[in-house]
Structure 1
Amino acid sequence: MEIFDARICALGEGVLWHPLREELFWFDIIGRRLLSHHPASGHTRAVPLTEMCSAAAWIDRDRLLIASETGLWTYDLTTGVFGHLADLEKDNQVTRSNDGRADPWGGFWIGTMGKQAEPHAGTIYRHYGGALRKIADGISIPNALCFDAARGCGYFADTHAQLLFRVALDEAGWPSEAPEVFVDFSHTGLRPDGAVTDAAGNLWLALWGEGAVIEISPDGKLGARHELAAPHSTCPAFGGPDFTTLYCTSATQGLGREALAEAPHSGAVFAELGAGQGRAEPAFILDTGDA
């Protein structure tokens, strides 16, 4: 994978290709910035944020849903105005938002975690139909939230536990069974971070500490690795006009001086043309009662 955007993030995360704008968005969680890059025009942006934000979904051409450490918000890309949608552990000073993604039904799944990665402090929620509802708790670092193209299941990981889970979903997108371990990385030393599914239902999973995105088949078999010049690979996304470009954010967090000298592009965003056949992320659907 080559460098797509050389701006360095302490903790790059939440990468999202906006299919209407053909623009890539991502966050520097620790740096409290929303960044974007429009590859056709070269236009970039860097929006300062008042608190840590980590994930987004697109609502329409000009609005995003953004998850922060205290809530879910709408954000107007043309006016820069935020609108409050829902509180997210607002009174819990220990936690912040982490990985999140819109689901095929127009809902939004978001995980929380301890700001110092406190064990079992995290929870996964789904916002759907105008309400926020708990999906799972007791997770240390929730990641890899993504969904099967056929709407049959969802996935999430606990990076600290080195486990990737699969959960069956009903016709409305709610869990119909308890989550099951899909891939156990605990004996491999690999730590699952963000993930996305492609058009065929394969997972593309970023591996924290490995500088790679690994393909995983729908039956849980590990496949090809896509390497990038940053050990802390964090979150992948498919984009480009035909959704065949693989993007991945990265981080400098936790890297010492020697590691940064060996991988000076840590924190940049990387891209690989023709990596696989992805698909557009679904839009988040605002309920009629939402702002």
Structure 2
Amino acid sequence: MGDGVQRVLAHRSLPGDGLLWQHGGDRWWWTDVPAATLHAWRETDPAPVAYRLPERAGSFALCRSGRLLVGLAKWLCFATPPGPAKTNRPLALKPVAAVDPAEPRTRVADGRTDRRGHFVFGTRIEADEPRAIGSFYQYSQAHGLRRLALPAATVAGSICFSPDGATMYFSTGEQRIMRCDYDADSAQVAGVRPFAALADAVPHGAIVDSEGCVWNAEQGSGRLTRYAPDGERMATWTLPAPHVTRPAFGGTKLDCLLVGSADGTRNGGGGLFRLAVPGVRGIPETPFDDSAGNP
């Protein structure tokens, strides 16, 4: 495939979104949104383990307790995976927070834990609506659901945080990535400003590496671009699949970079791809802090 890009998995369980590495569990996790399924996969396994959901999950987080926090269309729910040997089983869910229950035009979209262990996510429009009406939220055990004072979105995406957690990156469905000052404890944001503009694609999933650089998957172009902390474009890789979704660093040293694709296995174009990025490492994902109250 060239440019240090290698397909490591092509499977009917893809398209894959929300890609995460479970440090210690040594598994990759993702959600197949159209199929309403969560998947977990070790690279030594012949196929991913599947956990069925009652409806589509826009995003999810790994929890400190070993549970999952799953963002269904209108609910955040806790779930305990039944074990890697029990594939294709329904995942029992316990709802913990309703999301915009009176607004039928939106559903939960991209999300990620911040450096303090709170879940930050956004919503996307599901109806024929010309206005941007999606929102961004923070959920924690201590404070519940708190809306972030960020611009309205058609599709919330690219949510990630600087190594110190003081800067949040995000996108709203336009051809640019935004950033803002972020205080996790108070759920306050300030200084909303552009970070990077895309010429012919829309930003989708993103992650920050140990040097503070932002890696963003471009929906529609098949590109993954690395940006310096000041927004300068550093390098770009083109994958053989136009709808790349989200990059993630994994492996014991967090030096393995995988990227998901939402093209399925049509024409051999979809799957999970590994990029060769010598000398670059990720930051461990902070698990969601589900200890307080432990519902």
TM-score normalised by the chain length of structure 2: 0.87
Aligned CA RMSD, in angstroms, stands at 2.2
After superposition, residues 264-279 of structure 1 pair within 5 angstroms as 264-274=267-277, 276-279=280-283
- 1:93-144 Cα offsets, whole Å, 9 max, x none, are 2211111000001101111101257440211111122410111352111110
Separation in 1 of the partners of 2:291 and 2:253?
A: 30
SS of residue matched to 1:16: strand
Whether 1:133 and 2:146 are equivalent positions in the alignment is yes
1:4 to 8, 25, 28: 8
Separation in 2 of the partners of 1:281 and 1:104?
A: 8
Whether 1:25 and 2:26 are equivalent positions in the alignment is no
* Number of aligned residue pairs: 280
2:223 to 212, 235, 245: 212
Any stretches of 5+ residues in structure 1 without a counterpart? 254-259
With 98-107 and 278-287 compared, the bigger mean Cα shift is at 278-287
SS of residue matched to 1:3: strand
Separation in 1 of the partners of 2:269 and 2:146?
A: 35
- Cα offset, 1:20, TM superposition: 2.0
1:121 to 102, 116, 133: 133
CA contact (8 A) 2:68 2:78 kept: yes
- Cα offset, 1:285, TM superposition: 0.3
CA contact (8 A) 2:76 2:97 kept: yes
Separation in 2 of the partners of 1:194 and 1:280?
A: 17
CA contact (8 A) 1:117 1:141 kept: no
Separation in 1 of the partners of 2:122 and 2:11?
A: 26
2:289 to 256, 276, 285: 285
Separation in 2 of the partners of 1:44 and 1:10?
A: 10
SS of residue matched to 1:192: strand
Separation in 1 of the partners of 2:220 and 2:184?
A: 37
After superposition, residues 1-291 of structure 1 pair within 5 angstroms as 1-8=5-12, 11-42=15-46, 44-60=48-64, 62-78=66-82, 80-116=91-127, 118=129, 119-128=131-140, 129-135=142-148, 136-159=150-173, 161-170=174-183, 172=185, 174-185=187-198, 188-252=199-263, 264-274=267-277, 276-286=280-290, 288-291=292-295
Separation in 2 of the partners of 1:238 and 1:111?
A: 22
- 1:77-103 Cα offsets, whole Å, 9 max, x none, are 137432222111234322111110000
Separation in 1 of the partners of 2:99 and 2:24?
A: 28
- Cα offset, 1:41, TM superposition: 4.5
Separation in 2 of the partners of 1:7 and 1:55?
A: 20
SS of residue matched to 2:58: strand
SS of residue matched to 2:183: coil
SS of residue matched to 2:188: coil
Separation in 2 of the partners of 1:117 and 1:156?
A: 23
Letter in 2 for 1:167: C
SS of residue matched to 1:243: coil
CA contact (8 A) 1:20 1:61 kept: no
Identity value in percent: 26
CA contact (8 A) 2:64 2:290 kept: no
SS of residue matched to 1:264: helix
TM-score normalised by the chain length of structure 1: 0.88
Separation in 2 of the partners of 1:233 and 1:43?
A: 20
- 1:204-231 Cα offsets, whole Å, 9 max, x none, are 0001111121000000001111222111
Letter in 1 for 2:211: A
SS of residue matched to 1:201: coil
